[in-house]
Amino acid sequence: MFYTLNDLFAKLGLPNSPAAIEAFIEKHRPLPQAEPLASATFWTAEQAAFLREARQEYSDWAEVVDELNCLLRD
């Protein structure tokens, strides 16, 4: 299955319109290179746990989580 950023934001319980996603990324970047995505202070415990699991298990969510990770670092 292929998930989009809109799907990921919905899964995380965040507003998922293109404008809301863009605003979130602008607000929270740049994330320091040494800080793991799931360790960022702006996530809830549940969101952070999901992000860790999505990357560890190479789930269907891994690719879009990596995309978000890149967007927050640019």
pLDDT tier, 50 (very low <50, low <70, confident <90, very high otherwise) = very high
The type of residue at 61 is W
* pTM given for the model: 0.91
Q: What is the mean pLDDT of residues 12-31?
A: 97
pLDDT tens, 51-72?
999 987 678 999 999 999 999 9
The percent helix, strand, coil of the chain (3-state, each to 5) is 60, 0, 40
Tokens linked to 54: 């999505």
Instruction: Show the domains of the chain with their CATH numbers.
Output: 3-70 (1.10.10.1130)
Contact (Cβ atoms closer than 8 angstroms) between residue 60 and residue 11: no
